[in-house]
């Protein structure tokens, strides 16, 4: 159901349009001129305005131009004028549809429904995506040997760093033991006195801050090993 304001100084046509649109399931009100429209809009909002060009006082072109300065309301201009220049002016001042009288009521209603669908599309395109879809995570690019921060800054990895990061991001949030890290690096047995992995992690953290401006989410787990603590996707 669409809310429509019919701005038409010809009372019989205005009444017919309001009655017909109401019978089609829309909420329709009638206004005889621009002043009546302004009064109506001050107390209610509408989705679409059917606007006659040849209004007494402020004409339809001026009304459409004024509305467009602050509103995205749908505008269907309805006029007896058939000159192309009038159609161009109507569209340039912000009309969505320009129709020339005489026109059947069902054709106007069809344009109302079509414009309503287009307006819904505008809202969908402008609306922000839900937070779950806009939230960014770290990204590990296996082929490029690169870890991307949530801001998209790249951290290029060495061969050993790649092995370490690959192991950690395969199980984010789950600690990986030092023994597993040593084996992945090609060392047969883990020597508790060997601090090479700890040194590698420290260098990687420092490089991460320098290149990405972000703290690398790799944390030590006492008595176990290391864990990648942030959300991450692998590609």
CATH number at residue 94: 3.40.50.2300
Are 176 and 120 part of one and the same domain? no
Residue 79: closest CA among 66, 68, 89, 70? 89
What CATH number corresponds to the domain at position 224?
Answer: 1.10.10.10
Residue 2, Cβ density class (10 Å: 0-12 exposed, 13-18 middle, ≥19 buried): buried
Report pTM: 0.52
Structure tokens at 181: 């890290």
pLDDT of residue 131: 44
Are 117 and 11 part of one and the same domain? yes
pLDDT tens-place values along the chain, 235 residues long: 799 999 999 999 999 999 999 999 999 999 999 999 999 999 889 999 999 999 999 999 999 989 888 888 999 998 876 665 666 676 677 788 888 888 899 999 999 999 998 887 654 444 444 444 344 789 998 878 899 999 999 999 998 898 899 889 988 888 888 888 888 887 766 677 778 888 889 999 999 999 999 899 999 888 788 999 999 988 8
3-state secondary structure 113-141: HHHHHHHHHHHHHHCCCCHHHHCCCEEEE
What are the C-alpha distances in Å from 13 to residues 26, 101, 205, 227? 17, 11, 74, 73
Are 139 and 89 part of one and the same domain? no
What range defines the domain where residue 213 resides?
133-234
Are 65 and 27 part of one and the same domain? yes
Are 51 and 82 part of one and the same domain? yes
* Residue 46 DSSP code: -
Spatial contact of 36 and 6, defined as CB atoms under 8 Å apart = no
Query: How many structural domains are present in the chain?
Result: 2
Spatial contact of 26 and 2, defined as CB atoms under 8 Å apart = yes
- Is there a cis peptide before residue 160, judged by omega within 30 degrees of 0? no
Residue ending a domain, choose from 126, 157, 179: 126
Are 11 and 113 part of one and the same domain? yes
What are the C-alpha distances in Å from 4 to residues 7, 15, 70, 120, 171? 10, 13, 18, 15, 56
Are 118 and 148 part of one and the same domain? no
Residue ending a domain, choose from 126, 145, 174: 126
Q: In what order do the strands lie in the sheet with 3-7?
A: 27-31, 3-7, 48-52, 74-79, 97-100
């Amino acid at each position: 159901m669409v809310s429509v304001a019919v701005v038409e100084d010809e009372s019989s046509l205005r009444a017919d349009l309001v009655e017909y649109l109401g019978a089609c399931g829309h909420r329709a009100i009638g206004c005889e001129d621009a002043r009546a429209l302004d009064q109506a809009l001050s107390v209610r909002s509408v989705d679409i305005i059917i606007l006659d060009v040849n209004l007494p006082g402020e004409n339809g072109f001026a009304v459409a131009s004024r509305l467009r300065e602050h509103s995205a309301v749908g505008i269907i201009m309805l006029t007896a004028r058939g000159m192309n220049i009038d159609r161009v002016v109507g569209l340039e001042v912000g009309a969505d549809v320009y129709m020339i009288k005489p026109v059947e009521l069902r054709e106007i209603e069809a344009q109302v429904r079509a414009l309503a669908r287009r307006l819904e599309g505008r809202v969908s395109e402008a609306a922000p995506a839900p937070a779950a879809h806009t939230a960014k995570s770290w990204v590990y690019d296996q082929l490029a040997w690169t870890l991307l921060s949530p801001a998209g800054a790249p951290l290029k990895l060495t061969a050993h760093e790649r092995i370490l990061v690959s192991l950690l991001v395969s199980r984010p949030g789950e600690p990986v033991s030092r023994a597993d890290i040593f084996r992945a690096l090609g060392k047969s047995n883990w020597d508790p006195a060997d601090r090479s992995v700890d040194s590698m992690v420290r260098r990687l953290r420092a490089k991460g801050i320098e290149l990405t401006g972000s703290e690398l989410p790799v944390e030590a787990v006492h008595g176990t090993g290391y864990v990648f603590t942030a959300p991450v996707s692998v590609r």
